[in-house]
Amino acid sequence: MNSRRPPFAGGRWEHVVGWLFVIPALVMYGAFVLLPLLMSVQYSFVRWNGFGPMTWVGLDNYIRVLEDPDLLGTIFNSLRLVVFFSFIPVSLGLVIASIMHRTATGRYGALARTVLFLPQVIPLVAAGIIWGRLLSLPGLVNEILRAIGLDDVTRAWLGDFDWALPAVGFIGVWVLLGFCTVLLSTAMTKLDPSLFESARIDGASWFTEFIRITVPLLRNEIGVCLTVTVIAALAAFDIVYVSTAGGPGNSTAVPGIQIYILAFTEQRIGPASALAVMLTALVLIVILPFQRLNREA
Amino acid sequence: MKRSFYLIFSALAVFAMFMAVARTPKAVAQDAIDCGTEPITLRGYFETGFDLPFRLAEEFTKQYPNVTWDISQDQFANLINATPRLLSGDNPPDLIRLPTMVSFANQGLLKNLDEYAEAFGWNDWPVPQLNQNRVAEDGTRGSGSLYAMGLNYSLTGIFYNRDQAAQIGMTEPPTTLAEFEALLAAAKEAGLLPIMQWGSAQSGMGLAFPLQALMASVGSVDPINNWIFQKPGATIDTPENLVAAQHLADWISNGYFPEDINAIEYTDANARFSEGEGVFIFNGDWQNAAYDATMSGNVGFFVMPSAEEGGSPAAMSAPLTFGIAANAVNADCAAFFFNWVGTNEVARQIGVDVGGSNPGGPSGLPMPAVAEGSITNETLAAGSVIGEAGTSMDFIANATSAIFAQGWTPELQKMVGGRQDAAGLLQTVQAEYERQLSE
């Protein structure tokens, strides 16, 4: 039964070469992304300290996570972080990009973009340490507040139960605003100028222009920004670990921190993996609507 | 055929060697436990920021030139997380700084040092030195087989700024808790910060120091040690500890600590204390060299006085614990190093000069000389008072590997934020302790 021929007659060699190009990347991806992912799922069903024997415990680890208010609380904290890491940078980035598009073209626009993008170049750990200093009671932020007479609002921002999470979120805004602005303003330069011209001839204000033309046409890019920043919020670890380590009293604890403590300090790989799997699922659930936004555009 | 011959031959050879070792009298075994004369590389895993082990390693090589070192280092918090993987890895360290040790001993990751203790005579050293590093067969600490050694034995207590103490009329250290609290009130009255302390989650909540000092001041040290050593039925939620925790809650509400304590890191607290912020700070003698350097002559030390008139003071005193991995290649040499640290004159001098703490070792050896005017004179003197009274404790943050991160730190931070009271603090930490032990 040799009647079936390869799909690309004579193209077999190309087929092989194609695979040869893909294989190195595929092997790396498999070994460092897919395999660990599958192993995490496996670990989430066992009781294990990281090196001894594993015991199968079924769904126990998931039940433990769901029953522990401290662990569940971390998920709510990370949802609150979404506001700071995602909604504020994306909406503010849109406004800034739109203003720059209209007013600051040429050299000043490039300069503004560079300044806004700078935080992206600084490692998150360094940003966390620097902001930790700036936001401390004797730090620069409070010094400025005192200088303008706002002595009453000064506080140890990262050590205050009500303000620690917004303060961490503010660091996130600082880091991610530049990314969103640069991405959105680059996309704006590709929009057809005649659209804006005709709008202006019709007497459209900046705001109308923004709502009616800019935002609808940038749906794709906004979707990308939302996707990247929401993942940064839900999977946050470095900024939080360096600036507050989850404190004070778990008020800034996010799943990333608890996974780290569970796995390495407590040597409970099972619950740590269960929380990690749940976090992955949560990220996917939150992200999927944005992908739809992209596709429809 | 040839292959199986070799197998049988080597099996016989191993058997013969085993018999030879088993028959060797102990006196001969002692001669054998050293670093030999062949070149040997000891793999060390030390804590960043603490010079002592590095300086000891340097001196050891000076005296035993065939020994070189391959030393890695890490921060304390990372050390806690990395230790199980390092110990169970393919190339485990010969010498490792152990943040906690019970679980590692129970998991068979640490070498049992009983044989070495016998050979070197460590069992005759003063009892408190070794018993914190003993783990019994039921997995509790405080007695049983030896699994780690201390490079020195640190002492915690209360450091004070001499100028500011004089300002509030303190001519000599308080002898009762009431006297100490009167001084705190006087400091507050004088517009000074009574106590500088750190409290960020990154550093670990420093209020655990005054809390434990209060526990031992109000009650006795035994129930506290039982809890740390994970004795069956031990609880931290006792009536005495409730009184202690209430004192701490009062100190917080009286404004005795800095208002931003929840955001203060360990290094910042010490820097601010050195700059004159805070009359007192609860800390350990590992900080001596730094205090000598930054506030030379202006720093004093005392241990927490008892709540009762004439009662013994008590202190948290813990070995700078190092262990040998169960599969370490150079275990004998590492054990020889432990013995050298406690008995060699130069090593003991380094222990005092660099570490600021009691170098331990046999009771007959003289204490190395300390520079005049150094705060180390006061901590060593206080240490011998505690040693005689037998009122030393390990640290409540070391009861389990995660009790600090998951129990004391968040709950004490909540207490500062007015979201936890004394009774709730002890109940929550006890529940967390029981949860962790049940895992």
Reduced 3-state DSSP string for chain B: CHHHHHHHHHHHHHHHHHHHHHHCCHHHHHHHCCCCCCCEEEEEEEECCCCHHHHHHHHHHHHCCCEEEEEEEECHHHHHHHHHHHHHCCCCCCEEECCCCHHHHHCCCECCCHHHHHHHCHHHCCHHHHHCCEECCCCCECCCEECCEEEEEEEEEEEEEHHHHHHCCCCCCCCCHHHHHHHHHHHHHCCCCCEECCCCCCCCCCCHHHHHHHHHHHCCHHHHHHHHCCCCCCCCCCHHHHHHHHHHHHHHHCCCCCCCHHHCCHHHHHHHHHCCCCCEEEEEHHHHHHHHHHCCCCEEEECCCCCCCCCCCCEEEEEEEEECECCCCCHHHHHHHHHHHHHCHHHHHHHHHCCCCECCCCCCCCCCCCCCCCCHHHHHHHHHHHHHHCCEECCHHHCCCCHHHHHHHHHHHHHHCCCCCHHHHHHHHHHHHHHHHHC
Residues of B in contact with A50 (CB under 8 A): 84-85, 88
Q: What are the residue boundaries of the structural domains of chain B, listed by start?
A: 24-154+319-353, 155-317+378-438
Compute the nearest-CA separation of B164 from chain A (Å): 22
The pLDDT, as a whole number, for residue B18 is 46
Q: Are the C-beta atoms of A265 and B402 separated by less than 8 Å?
A: yes
Tell me: the pLDDT tens digits for A3-47?
A: 555 555 557 888 899 999 999 999 999 999 999 999 999 999 999
Q: Are the C-beta atoms of B227 and B234 separated by less than 8 Å?
A: yes
Average pLDDT, chain A: 89
Residues of A in contact with B82 (CB under 8 A): 264
**Residue with more model confidence, A5 or B103:** B103
Tell me the C-alpha distance between B327 and A103, whole Å.
69
Tell me the C-alpha distance between B305 and A189, whole Å.
73
Task: Inform me whether the pLDDT recorded for B1 exceeds 60.
Answer: no
* DSSP 8-state code for residue A152: G
Tell me, what amino acid is at A125?
V
Tell me, what amino acid is at B308?
E
Q: Are the C-beta atoms of B400 and B430 separated by less than 8 Å?
A: no
B80, B262, B439 ranked by CB distance to A159: nearest: B262
Tell me the C-alpha distance between B148 and B153, whole Å.
13
Task: Inform me whether the pLDDT recorded for A284 exceeds 50.
Answer: yes
The pLDDT, as a whole number, for residue A265 is 87
B262, B436, B439 ranked by CB distance to A156: nearest: B262
What 3-state DSSP class applies to A189? helix
Q: Closest Cα to residue B327, out of A48, A51, A49?
A: A51
**Residue with more model confidence, B388 or B379:** B379
B103, B200, B268 ranked by CB distance to A247: nearest: B200
The pLDDT, as a whole number, for residue A6 is 52
Q: What confidence category does residue A104 fall into, taking pLDDT thresholds of 50, 70 and 90?
A: low
The CA-based dihedral angle spanning residues B332, B334, B338, B343, taken in that order and rounded to the nearest 10 degrees: 70
Share of chain B above pLDDT 70, in %: 93
Q: What confidence category does residue B48 fall into, taking pLDDT thresholds of 50, 70 and 90?
A: confident
The packing angle between helices B239-253 and B177-189, to 10°, is: 10
B287 touching chain A per CB within 8 A? no
Q: Are the C-beta atoms of B70 and B61 separated by less than 8 Å?
A: no
* Residue B372 in tokens: 């005049």
**Residue with more model confidence, B324 or B19:** B324
* Residue B45 in tokens: 């895993």
Tell me, what amino acid is at A197?
E
* Residue B354 in tokens: 């660099």
Q: What confidence category does residue B22 fall into, taking pLDDT thresholds of 50, 70 and 90?
A: very low
The pLDDT, as a whole number, for residue A295 is 67
Q: What confidence category does residue B28 fall into, taking pLDDT thresholds of 50, 70 and 90?
A: very low
The pLDDT, as a whole number, for residue B30 is 45
* DSSP 8-state code for residue A158: G
Residue A248: asked if its preceding bond is cis (omega within 30°), the reply is yes
Q: What confidence category does residue A296 fall into, taking pLDDT thresholds of 50, 70 and 90?
A: low
Residues of B in contact with A247 (CB under 8 A): 200-202, 262, 409-410, 413
A157 touching chain B per CB within 8 A? yes
CATH ID of B155-317+378-438, from 3.10.290.10, 3.40.190.10, 3.40.50.970, 3.40.30.10: 3.40.190.10
Work out the average pLDDT over B128-133: 84
Interface test with A, best of B260, B261, B434 (most A CBs within 10 A): B260
Residues of B in contact with A250 (CB under 8 A): 410
Tell me: the pLDDT tens digits for A215-231?
A: 899 988 999 999 999 99
Q: Are the C-beta atoms of B283 and B270 separated by less than 8 Å?
A: yes
Residue with tokens 């914190």: B132
The pLDDT, as a whole number, for residue A7 is 54
The CA-based dihedral angle spanning residues A172, A178, A179, A185, taken in that order and rounded to the nearest 10 degrees: 140
Q: What confidence category does residue B199 fall into, taking pLDDT thresholds of 50, 70 and 90?
A: very high
* DSSP 8-state code for residue A236: -
β partners of residue B196:
B281
Q: For A248, which residue in chain B has the nearest alpha carbon?
A: B413
CATH ID of A66-296, from 1.10.3720.10, 3.30.2290.10, 3.90.180.10, 3.10.20.600: 1.10.3720.10
Interface test with B, best of A51, A265, A268 (most B CBs within 10 A): A265
Work out the average pLDDT over B64-69: 96
Tell me: the pLDDT tens digits for A123-146?
A: 888 999 999 999 999 999 999 999
Q: What angle do CA B383, B185, B306 make, to 5 degrees?
A: 30
Q: What are the residue boundaries of the structural domains of chain A, listed by start?
A: 66-296
Task: Inform me whether the pLDDT recorded for A2 exceeds 90.
Answer: no
The pLDDT, as a whole number, for residue B2 is 46
β partners of residue B145:
B135
Q: Are the C-beta atoms of B40 and B67 separated by less than 8 Å?
A: yes
What 3-state DSSP class applies to A174? helix
Task: Inform me whether the pLDDT recorded for B421 exceeds 80.
Answer: yes
B199, B260, B401 ranked by CB distance to A266: nearest: B401
Residue with tokens 């507040």: A145
Strand B280-284 and strand B195-196: pairing? parallel
Task: Inform me whether the pLDDT recorded for B12 exceeds 60.
Answer: no
Q: For A138, which residue in chain B has the nearest alpha carbon?
A: B260
Task: Inform me whether the pLDDT recorded for A106 exceeds 80.
Answer: no
Q: Are the C-beta atoms of A165 and A80 separated by less than 8 Å?
A: yes
Q: How far is CA B315 from CA A63, B146, B206, B392, in A?
A: 42, 23, 15, 5
Residues of A in contact with B264 (CB under 8 A): 136, 156, 159
- φ, ψ for residue B63 (rounded to 5)? -85, -30
Q: For B83, which residue in chain A has the nearest alpha carbon?
A: A264
The pLDDT, as a whole number, for residue B17 is 46
Residue with tokens 């202690």: B244
Q: What angle do CA A254, A259, A261 make, to 5 degrees?
A: 100
Interface test with B, best of A74, A266, A269, A275 (most B CBs within 10 A): A266
A136, A248, A265 ranked by CB distance to B405: nearest: A265
Count of positions (residues) in chain B: 439
β partners of residue B280:
B160, B195
A19 touching chain B per CB within 8 A? no
* Residue B224 in tokens: 């506290």
Average pLDDT, chain B: 90
Q: How far is CA A144 from CA A172, B231, B237, in A?
A: 21, 53, 45
Q: What confidence category does residue A153 fall into, taking pLDDT thresholds of 50, 70 and 90?
A: very high
Residues of A in contact with B266 (CB under 8 A): none
Q: Closest Cα to residue B242, out of B40, B430, B97?
A: B430
Q: Closest Cα to residue B325, out of B120, B154, B107, B32?
A: B107
The pLDDT, as a whole number, for residue A9 is 53
Task: Inform me whether the pLDDT recorded for B237 exceeds 90.
Answer: yes
CB contact under 8 A, B439 and A161: no
Q: Which helix (H) or strand (E) holds A246?
A: none
| CATH code at B24-154+319-353 | 3.40.190.10
Q: How far is CA B328 from CA A125, B4, B47, B91, B150, in A?
A: 34, 30, 19, 8, 18
